Copies of this chain bind each other. A is one copy, B any other.
Amino acid sequence: MVIRVTVFGENVHEQKNRIVAGIYPEGMHSTIAQAINADPDCRAVTVTLQEPEHGLTAEKLAQTDVLIWWGHAAHGDVQDHVVDRVCDAVWSGMGMIFLHSAHFSKPFKRLMGTPCNLTWREAGERERLWLTSRNHPIAAGLPDHFELENEEMYGEPFGVPEPMETVFVSWFQGGEVFRSGLTYKRGAGNVFYFRPGHETYPTFHDANVQRVIRNAVKWAYNPAARIADPNDAPNVPVETAPERIEERGPRLHHDGEQGFR
């Protein structure tokens, strides 16, 4: 069984910024997809903001087991109806991984229900990621800590809900800390946030970072059939109640009627 991964890349700085283009000549999304395709159990393809529907049509999402999201400069350009579609897919069982500046992406904010804000500094400082949850599947094959010599700093407080699990915590040379790997469940979908990945540094070429992403793909993958309508709120008529009851008192609705929304 091959896990079908789609990598969404914003693809803006790769086109406009010489430094970013130098590090990721085919785009960050391509580098990420290649890292995933190094695992024979996964098959990753890419889509970008510039494509119609950002490449995230209903058909595409139906064929995606895990969606990876990187965005930064153009969060506002992502169309709201595509965000709705992505969230519906997550609630139905699609896994989703948000990388770095995707903390401010529309789908992440929608799925978290919080501001998702943080403090930040772009100084190319050293980041060291510490594992807090030993033998977590997302940390398979990783040492207890690993370093990125140049990264943007993200600092606490990170405006997200308390996660299901805190998997990584980062130390920064400038004195801050950050919860860098967080797991969530939203509906039937597994969600992972992973901090590193500023576009002016070669983070997605790092072997440990690539391993985390590959592990996270496998962790996020839910083999169950997608839920047909994750927003369904069915009426259960009196006659089909699990226990026999008789209707009592006044009511607003008729049997089988759709409720208010």
The interface bits of chain A over 229-259 (1 if a CB of B lies within 8 angstroms of the residue's CB, else 0) are 0111111111001110111111111000001
B179-A169 in contact (CB<8A): yes
A1 within 8 A of B: no
Instruction: Provide the residues of chain B in CB contact with A157, threshold 8 Å.
Output: 130-134, 144
Q: B72, B123, B245: which contacts A251 (Cβ < 8 A)?
A: B123
Inter-chain CA distance A208–B137, complex, in Å, is: 28
The answer to whether A207 has its CB under 8 Å from any CB of chain B is no
Contact assessment for B241 and A187 in the assembled complex, using a CB-CB cutoff below 8 Å: no
Point out the residues of chain B lying under 8 angstroms from A114, CB to CB: 91, 111, 186-187
Q: How large is the interface on A (under 10, 10 to 19, 20 to 34, 35 or more residues)?
A: 35 or more
Which residues of chain B have C-beta atoms less than 8 A from A246's C-beta?
123
Which residues between 104 and 142 of chain A lie within 8 Å of chain B, taking CB atoms? 104, 110-115, 117-125, 128, 130-137, 140
Bound CA–CA A246/B135 (angstroms) = 32
Complex interface: chain B residues within 8 A of A197 (CB): none
A176 within 8 A of B: yes
A141-172 interface bits toward B, Cβ cutoff 8 Å, 1 = contact, 0 = none: 00011010010010111110110111001111
Contact between chains at A162 and B165 (CB < 8 Å): yes
